Structure 1
């Protein structure tokens, strides 16, 4: 737990600003709630790269897109600006503090005891999710599965850019498909949480074939799912922010101590890489090589080369231990058939 600065100024009008991905903005809601606890009478206007993360939160007075806003200056010239970049904090980078704790420390806010964001769904959003499930005719336990990530909802075409800067946190398509196949054979239904521009998986429900689904409806669908298997991307943050537990989260280049949640089951492959959870490339720290290109892993991101059967075993141990024995028998049978 980090200590708050004692000289936090008496500010009555606050303009909060935060940029970055959807998962980061979900975490930001925990910082804003902590700010509200410390400043119960303040007027708090938040500017964010993802206003969808801040919807329906009673501790924020108004939310703006972090973009050009007409007449914003005239309306906010007397507001104090609160802005910090937690990815640059040394305690975060060394793995000493969770990102939420680092963010609070940098702003002089007492960190909350619960290190997860907050998502509040409206009745309309819940109704939309239930209607989607009815249209899908889901008749089995539903598993939310996010094997790919790191691409903005606002620029989905970047998912097809092979040289975009990103952490090593995605699964290979073949491994993702094998996980889906195992789950369906075990009697589960799977919804692929992702963008329509990401690799296409078979034998599962899709959010959309053309345009990205509104994140608010994705949150509501996650609330309707019984189980989750995720990489380190927005879905694992949303799962925790919804108060759900026991998702299987597959970690590689990023660190569960600084970006994850103890309420989930976090898997890492420590034996595959001596510098696992390196959090590289850290573009906020100008993590570029001599050629001006973002840092690239010299061992090809081995930390994310998960064996699908290992993932399924862990999923069953946590969520459906009664199916584990039959799964092992089928594996042995399939291996014999291949000999």
Structure 2
């Protein structure tokens, strides 16, 4: 458990030291940026990277890069920042009573009193409307995909109240961009994107189970469910299953997408992505220690690099 002492100047307990929000952002905006997790960018990366996987895999599949893809690439980045912020705001509104009972989260803006629920709702709507403006510049099929994603975002904060598998619902929401970005490029959803989406869900189960071990003790006291509590001492075994699922499903998605038109060299290079990603996840397993909350947070944050690995291989394959 984290210490119970209040954080200075409204700082959130699990934010990196000397983050830009706490050191450079205008003081009136800081509570809202903290509400959006702008002081903790790892979540934005975890939402964004599946989008970029889907886009690069779609380009590999049809071998037809276009200038429009640069906007899809940038639009996904801006959209990830905004929708992660809106989603986190919604999560904190829904969890405002729970967060006040957990040591790690009671310093968040709503339970600490820095932002009211009404102010948080207005902030969420503002972020969502700007993100909608970006989405409307994409292909109509991708716009429909983006609207559908709101179902997963809406349900996720409540999942831990009715299932031991809330991480599945997080995976459904956080990896939707793999299908959306594929559709934005190609104009329709394809099986490789769906399988890539399933791979991302396995990855989310891996990293968010690690993350959830920080709160397992508090969650047990207040009755909140998670895979960390469900798996307990068997967590490492389950994480191995998620590792294998991530690698195998991503490999299948790449084969289905790349094999018909790309070169053999491109296929080999692309398949190097899930292979190397699996090794990085295995490295995390070697450092897994559920009794060390700081270590769990460190491993969770390392998943930015985990997700960048296949993206780099896919990008190199585009040049083959």
Q: TM-score, normalised by structure 1?
A: 0.25
Determine which structure has greater relative contact order: mean sequence separation of CA pairs < 8 Å that are 6+ residues apart, divided by chain length. 2
Higher strand share: 1
Higher Rg of the two aligned structures: 1
The structure in which a higher percent of residues are helix is 2
